[in-house]
Amino acid sequence: MQTEENRRLEINEEALFADTTEDYFSPSEPNPYSQVTIRFRTARDGADSVYMVNYGTRYFMEKESSDEWFDYYACEAEVEKEEFSYHFEIHLGKEKYIFDAGGMGTEANPEYAFRVIPGFRTPAWAKGAVMYQIYVDRFYNGDVSNDVLTSEYEYINGKTERVEDWNKYPAAMGVREFYGGDLQGVLEKMDYLEELGVDVIYFNPLFVSPSNHKYDIQDYDNIDPHFGKLVSDEGELLREDQHENRFATRYIDRVTNKKNLEASNKLFAELVAEAHKRGIRVILDGVFNHCGSFNKWMDRERIYENAPGYEKGAYVEKESPYHKYFKFSDESAWPYNSGYEGWWGHDTLPKLNYENSRELTDYIMRVAAKWVSPPYNADGWRLDVAADVGYSAEGNHEFWRKFRRAVREANPDAIVIAEHYGSPRSWLNGREWDSVMNYDAFMEPVTWFLTGMQKHSDDYREDLDGNVSSFMGAMRYYLANFTTPSLQIAMNELSNHDHSRFLTRTNKKVGRTSTLGPQAANEHINKAVMREAVVIQMTWPGAPAIYYGDEAGVCGFTDPDNRRTYPWGHEDKEMIEFHRDMIRIHKENPEILTGSLKYITYDYNILGYGRFNRKEAVAVVINNNAYEVERQVSVWPLGIPGECSMERLMITTADGYTTETESFPIEAGILKIVLPPTSAMVLKYKKLKTADIRTAHKSIFDRIRLAAENRFR
């Protein structure tokens, strides 16, 4: 039999909590050389003493306040300009425990230290912002006059093709196919985006480029007139026997004529202004590791060689002002020197040589600032293969420090988000990237857990399918690489232009369009699993990023099949409405945008977590099993009272979903629920304000009075 003293000495691990959100580190984005307040939570009377430990210095924490479940400890500290990292020591009886971002343990692990970077902040508009990625050629054709024409030019051993059937699946080698989507089309669908609840449009590259994906930039200074506007449209298409683009005079006029470029840039400025009127921000895609062989600095296609107002490209002549922008293996092979270095050996993607050219670096810094400044006023950049820029780690970090400085000086409210696989910690230092496309701490763990599929649909792992321990372990490990300002704006995607569509991953078919055919991507999909994924996406820390058409039921294997057109007129309207409702729930609950995260229940194919602050809490429970599950969920660790109720905001099932509210009683801090097969439930607790408490009390007293009157009548 345990004594009262022994019982008291048992640490309540579930009650221990801290993170670097505003409730536990205030202010959460401190200035250098300022004072901060750091807090820690234990069970009520659950510790003898608590210390905050910063680089070996121990700060005694005073008990600041208590409530039904918890004691809150606090201390003050001075931060300087360097990263401030810390963990906690909890003493109970003769035992000492360590608590950090990895949870409770017995030894401190620097990899899991809580970290804050003084002076680093991300704009409020980006925290939890709902992003919408648009691959412009496939979204909507609002101006047929600017469509790329069949045989307009040659690209990668074939001529361009204008696709007449909007609903045609992309070809396996579809890089030369153009469907005609453009900025005018986006303008015409702005009502749709606003009604969906979009906060940010993220555009795949818009600058002049010969491919439909436009990651092979031809001209960083101008929007592609095929996406913008044509004022002049002179010249000829290529004949069948012509394969050199110096004869593609129609294309040359379209993309080099200053009238077309100025009109296209103006249209982009108008689009951003219209988006801003609706409260929608705009992020551009920046490809600065490499350009394209069509680029005016290289001009391997000899498009600019005789165009008025352009210098000779580095391919054309050695004396080109752009010679040092690239690395050539043979310095004696001019004119028309093809011996340049391409990214991963691709001669269509010349690698940019920043280390050898201050002029190139300065040029790109002007580009970085130009598009976030008037009259264009974009709100930030997404950076393609950002870790590959340059030829050395030192050069890479120096480049991004300059880039972020250029962007923030031009537009202090703009953000810089990088594409990156692996740990981004060395770049998320407050001086380079603001955040990343969140593959490691969102897309991959969610995909493995709900489907067992690799994000390209190239593999199925039965050992990861439904494996909640693997999910939580991956999240714990990768989330530790973020500071809170970075995490709150990380792009949480289910799909994008580089990976299979999430809805297709739910069919658990391993393959690509080249091996299985595009129709296979549509077969045996599971919309219920898709709904579970969207619930997680809209309630997880970060900025949920929807890939155009995911909300409308678009399927597709990895690229190019994932770049199907938006199905206007054939949309899955229920899926759109579901996204709209989840976006509303995401936006209406501030604890989802900037609150804390804590797991509350888990098992095979079952995941439950809370998003909470000191005022409100949301509980999310996922049942990915094909059968009904009953759960008793401890919600008290979210700060929810022992006796109260929670309101259901959303439940998804195998057949659909509903936002019809239902009240669930909380007894002794426990929520009892029945989860249907393949379902997700979102519940809300909100502390009553003083006025609400008075109203509630009056209602209770009124019911008592009426009951008494009826009793004695």
Q: What is the mean pLDDT of residues 669-696?
A: 80
Query: What confidence tens digit (pLDDT) does each residue in 558-571 have?
Result: 999 999 999 999 99
Residue 87: count other Cβ atoms within 10 Å of its Cβ. Answer: 22
pLDDT in the model for residue 132: 98
* Residue 4 pLDDT exceeds 50: no
Q: Provide the residue ranges of all domains of the chain, joining segments of one domain with +.
A: 4-119, 129-293+345-586, 294-344, 594-691
More confident residue, 6 or 274: 274
pLDDT in the model for residue 686: 87
pLDDT in the model for residue 709: 52
- 594-691: same fold as 4-119? yes
Residue for token pair 């004949």: 239
> What is the rounded distance in angstroms from the CA atom of residue 19 to the CA atom of residue 86?
11
pLDDT in the model for residue 711: 43
> What is the rounded distance in angstroms from the CA atom of residue 429 to the CA atom of residue 604?
36
Residue 269: count other Cβ atoms within 10 Å of its Cβ. Answer: 17
Q: What is the mean pLDDT of the chain?
A: 95
pLDDT in the model for residue 8: 47
Residue 568: count other Cβ atoms within 10 Å of its Cβ. Answer: 16
> What is the rounded distance in angstroms from the CA atom of residue 453 to the CA atom of residue 460?
5
pLDDT in the model for residue 10: 87
Cβ-in-10-Å burial (0-12, 13-18, 19+) of 55 comes to: exposed
Query: What confidence tens digit (pLDDT) does each residue in 96-146 have?
Result: 999 999 999 999 999 999 999 999 999 999 999 999 999 999 999 999 999
* Contact (Cβ atoms closer than 8 angstroms) between residue 315 and residue 245: no
* Contact (Cβ atoms closer than 8 angstroms) between residue 238 and residue 151: yes
* Residue 57 pLDDT exceeds 90: yes
Pairing label, strands 435-436, 415-418: parallel
pLDDT in the model for residue 691: 44
For 93-152, where are the E strands, in sequence order? 95-100, 103-105, 114-116, 131-134
pLDDT in the model for residue 445: 98
Pick the CATH number of 129-293+345-586 from 3.40.50.720, 3.20.20.80, 1.10.3470.10, 3.30.420.40: 3.20.20.80
Cβ-in-10-Å burial (0-12, 13-18, 19+) of 453 comes to: buried
Residue for token pair 């509210």: 661
Q: What is the mean pLDDT of residues 346-356?
A: 96
Enter the tokens of residue 344.
């991963």
Using a pLDDT cut of 90, give the percent of the chain over it.
Answer: 94
pTM score, whole prediction: 0.94
- From 48, 44, 39, select the one nearest 91 (Cα to Cα): 48
Q: Is the peptide bond before 110 cis (omega within 30 degrees of 0)?
A: no
pLDDT in the model for residue 271: 98
> What is the rounded distance in angstroms from the CA atom of residue 450 to the CA atom of residue 562?
20
> What is the rounded distance in angstroms from the CA atom of residue 238 to the CA atom of residue 228?
22
* Residue 212 pLDDT exceeds 90: yes
Backbone angles phi and psi of 83, in degrees to 5:
-55, 135
pLDDT in the model for residue 296: 98
Residue for token pair 């097969």: 677
* Residue 173 confidence class, pLDDT cut points 50, 70, 90: confident
CA angle, residues 443, 449, 451, in degrees to nearest 5: 90
pLDDT in the model for residue 689: 54
Query: What confidence tens digit (pLDDT) does each residue in 610-648 have?
Result: 999 999 999 999 999 999 999 999 999 999 999 999 999
Q: What is the mean pLDDT of residues 495-509?
A: 98
Q: What is the mean pLDDT of residues 152-162?
A: 97
Residue for token pair 């051993």: 157
Distance of CA 189 to the CA centre of its chain: 22
Query: What confidence tens digit (pLDDT) does each residue in 264-299 have?
Result: 999 999 999 999 999 999 999 999 999 999 999 999
Residue 665, C-beta contacts closer than 8 angstroms, at least 6 positions apart: 644, 645, 672
Q: Give the chain's radius of gyration (CA, Å).
A: 28
> What is the rounded distance in angstroms from the CA atom of residue 445 to the CA atom of residue 443?
6
* Residue 478 confidence class, pLDDT cut points 50, 70, 90: very high
> What is the rounded distance in angstroms from the CA atom of residue 248 to the CA atom of residue 148?
12
Residues pairing with 103 in the sheet = 100
- Give the chain's end-to-end CA distance (angstroms, integer): 56
* Contact (Cβ atoms closer than 8 angstroms) between residue 212 and residue 155: no
Using a pLDDT cut of 70, give the percent of the chain over it.
Answer: 95
CATH superfamily, region 594-691: Golgi alpha-mannosidase II (2.60.40.1180)
pLDDT in the model for residue 1: 42
* Residue 600 confidence class, pLDDT cut points 50, 70, 90: very high
* Residue 699 pLDDT exceeds 60: no
Q: What is the CATH number of domain 4-119?
A: 2.60.40.10
